[in-house]
Amino acid sequence: MTGTLPQDPRPWPTRREAALKNATMRRTVGEVTRRLAEGRRRALADYPEGQVKLQRAQVAKRQAVARWQTLWSELQAAVTAHGGTPHFAATAAEAVALVRQIARQYAVRRVIKSKSMVTEELELTQALAQDGIVVLETDLGEYIIQLAGEKPSHILGPAIHRNRAQIAELFREDAAQHGLLPPSSDAYEALTEYARRRLREEFLAADMGITGGNFLVAETGTLVLITNEGNADMTTTLPRVLVSVVGLEKLVATWDDLLDIVQQPALSGVGRRLSTYTTLVHGPRGPGVAEGPEAWHLILLDNGRSALHGTPYEEVLTCLRCAACLNVCPVFRQVGGHAYGSVYSGPIGIVETPLLTDFRILPELPSALCTVCHACAEACPMAIDLPAHIIRLRQEKVRRKLVPTAHRWSIRQWAAQWRTPAGYRRTIRWARLAQRWYRRGDRLEGAPGMAAGWFQSRSMPPVASPTFREWWAARPESAGRALR
Amino acid sequence: MSKVQLFVTCLVDLFRPEAGIAAVQVLERAGVTVEFPEAQTCCGQFSYNAGFKPEAAALARHWVATFESTEGPIVALSGSCAAMVIHSYPALLAEDAQERGEPEAAAARWRERAAAVAQRVWEWSQWVRDHVPPLAGPKPAPGPVVACHLGCHMRRLLKETQAPRAVLEDRGVAVREPVHAEECCGFGGTYSMTEPVVSTALADAKLTALDALRAEGAVCLTGADLGCLLHLEGRWRRRGVTFPVRYLAEVVDAAETGHWQDFSPPSAPLSPPRSQARS
The β-bridge partners of B123 are: B76
pLDDT at B278: 39
Clarify whether residues B89 and B205 are in a common domain: no
In a domain, B133, yes or no: no
pLDDT at A341: 98
- Residue by residue, pLDDT tens for chain B (279 residues) are 699 999 999 999 999 999 999 999 999 999 999 999 999 999 999 999 999 999 999 999 999 999 999 999 999 999 999 999 999 999 999 999 999 999 999 999 999 999 999 999 999 999 999 999 888 776 656 789 999 999 999 999 999 999 999 999 999 999 999 999 999 999 999 999 999 999 999 999 999 999 999 999 999 999 999 999 999 999 999 999 999 999 999 999 999 998 887 775 544 343 334 444 433
Q: Do B230 and A333 touch (CB under 8 A)?
A: no
Least CB–CB distance from B188: residue in A333, A371, A469 = A371
CA distance B70 to B163: 25
Q: What is the pLDDT of residue A202?
A: 84
CA angle A322, A326, A329 (to 5 degrees): 145
Chain-centre distance for alpha carbon A223 = 21
pTM: 0.95
What integer pLDDT is reported at residue B138 of this predicted model?
65
Q: In what helix (H) or strand (E) does residue A278 lie, and over which residues does it extend?
A: strand A277-281
Query: Who's near A151: CB < 8 A, 6+ residues apart?
Result: A8, A120, A145, A158, A338, A343
Instruction: For an interface test with A, give the residue of B75, B154, B199, B226 to mutate (most A CBs within 10 A).
Output: B199
Nearest CB to A367 within list B24, B194, B231: B194
Residue of B26, B93, B191 to mutate, interface with A, max A Cβ within 10 Å: B191
Which of B44, B157, B192 is opposite residue A374, by nearest beta carbon?
B157
- What integer pLDDT is reported at residue A443 of this predicted model? 96
| Same domain for B147 and B29 | no
Domain membership flag for residue B134: no
- CA A221, CA A329: separation in Å to the nearest integer? 36
Any idea what the Cα angle at residue A51 is, between residues A46 and A56, rounded to 5°? 150
Q: Which residues pair with A134 in a beta bridge?
A: A110
**Residue A7: beta bridge partners?**
A342
Please report the residues numbered 216 through 275 in chain B whose beta carbons come closer than 8 angstroms to any beta carbon of chain A: 230-231, 234-235, 237-238, 275
Interchain contact, A398 vs B53, CB within 8 Å: yes
B44/A454 Cβ within 8 A: no
Residues B57 and B168 placed together within one structural domain of the fold: no
Q: What DSSP string runs through chain B?
A: --EEEEE--HHHHHH-HHHHHHHHHHHHHTT-EEE--TT-----HHHHHTT-HHHHHHHHHHHHHHHHTS-S-EEES-HHHHHIIIIIHHHHHHHHHHHTT--HHHHHHHHHHHHHHHTTEEEHHHHHHHH-PPPSSPPPSSPPEEEEE--HHHHHTS--SSHHHHHHHTTT-EEE--TTTTS--S-TTTHHHHSHHHHHHHHHHHHHHHHHHHHTT---EEES-HHHHHHHHHHHHHTT----EEEHHHHHHHHHH---TT-PPPSSPPPPPSSPPP-
CATH number at residue B33: 3.40.50
- Do B145 and B68 belong to one domain? no
Tell me A481's DSSP state: -
SS (H, E, C) A296-356: EEEEEECCCCHHHCCCCCHHHHHCCCCCHHHHHCHHHHHHCCHHHCECCCHHHHHHHHHHH
Chain A residues with CB under 8 Å of B59 CB are 415, 418-419
Q: Least CB-CB distance to B53: which of A377, A395, A466?
A: A395
Whose CA is closest to A368, among A414, A399, A322, A334? A334
Closest of A26, A29, A33, A27 to residue A328, by C-alpha: A33
CA distance A379 to A127: 36
Q: For chain B, how far is it from start to end, CA to CA, in angstroms? A: 54
Mutate one of B21, B87, B193 to test the A interface: name it (highest A CB count within 10 A): B193
The domain boundary, picked from B79, B97, B126, lies at B126
Question: Does residue B146 share a domain with residue B271?
Answer: yes
pLDDT for the residue A291: 83
B135 within a domain of the structure (yes/no): no
User: Domain for residue B132, yes or no?
Assistant: no
Phi-psi group of A288: left, alpha or beta (phi > 0 → left; psi -120 to 50 → alpha; rest → beta): left
Quote the CA–CA distance of A144 and A5 in Å, as a whole number.
22
How many independent structural domains does chain B possess? Answer: 2
- Nearest CB to B17 within list A370, A450, A466: A466
Rounded to whole angstroms, the Cα distance separating A104 from A243 reads 13
> Is residue B170 domain-shared with residue B102, that is, in the same domain?
no
Closest C-alpha among B123, B113, B24 to residue B73: B123
Q: Which residues of B touch A482 (CB under 8 A)?
A: 24, 28, 33-35
Sign of CA dihedral B151, B154, B159, B164: negative
Q: What is the pLDDT of residue B243?
A: 95
ipTM: 0.94
Q: Check CB contact under 8 Å for A372 and B191.
A: yes
- Whether B94 and B145 share a structural domain: no
Which chain B residue has the Cα nearest residue A27? Answer: B205
**Number of other residues whose CB lies within 10 A of the CB of residue A188:** 10
Query: Which one of A31, A41, A457, A463 would you mutate to disrupt binding with B, by most B Cβ within 10 Å of its Cβ?
Result: A457
pLDDT value for B261: 72
- Same domain for B232 and B186: yes
Last residue of a domain, one of B126, B150, B183: B126
Query: Is the residue at B19 inside a domain?
Result: yes
pLDDT number for residue A141: 92
Q: Does B162 lie in the same domain as B213?
A: yes
Range of the domain at B34: 3-126
Q: Tell me if B11 is assigned to some domain.
A: yes
Q: Is A419 in contact with B59 (Cβ distance < 8 A)?
A: yes
Q: Which of B51, B180, B237 faces A395 most closely, judged by CB atoms?
A: B51
State the helix-helix crossing angle for A140-148 and A188-205, rounded to 10 degrees: 90
In this structure, the answer to whether residues B269 and B155 fall within a common structural domain is: yes
Residues of A in contact with B34 (CB under 8 A): 482
Domain end call among B96, B126, B156: B126
Q: Does residue B259 contact residue B177 with C-beta atoms inside 8 Å? A: no
Q: Looking at the complex, does the CB of residue B195 fall below 8 Å from at least one CB of chain A?
A: yes
Beta carbons of A330 and B202 less than 8 angstroms apart: yes
B265 in the same domain as B160: yes
Kindly give the confidence (pLDDT) of every residue in chain A, 484 residues in length, as a single tens digit, with 9 standing for 90 and above.
799 999 999 999 999 999 999 999 999 999 999 999 999 999 999 999 999 999 999 999 999 999 999 999 999 999 999 999 999 999 999 999 999 999 999 999 999 999 999 999 999 999 999 999 999 999 999 999 999 999 999 999 999 899 999 999 999 999 999 899 999 999 999 999 999 998 888 888 999 999 999 999 999 999 999 998 889 989 999 999 999 999 999 999 999 999 999 999 999 999 999 999 999 998 999 888 888 899 999 999 999 999 999 999 999 999 999 999 999 999 999 999 999 999 999 999 999 999 999 999 999 999 999 999 999 999 999 999 999 999 999 999 999 999 999 899 999 999 999 999 999 999 999 999 999 999 999 999 999 989 999 999 999 999 999 999 999 999 987 654 543 3
Residues B36 and B102 occupy one common structural domain? yes
Are the beta carbons of A20 and B180 separated by less than 8 Å?
A: no
Interface of B with A in 198-217 (CB under 8 A): 198-203, 205
Residue B11, min C-alpha distance to chain A (Å): 9
Q: Note whether A375 contacts B182, CB cutoff 8 Å.
A: yes
In a domain, B131, yes or no: no
Decide if B69 touches A, using CB distance below 8 A. no
Distance from CA of A361 to the nearest CA of B (A): 19
Residue B205 belongs to a domain:
yes
What was the pLDDT predicted at A482?
42
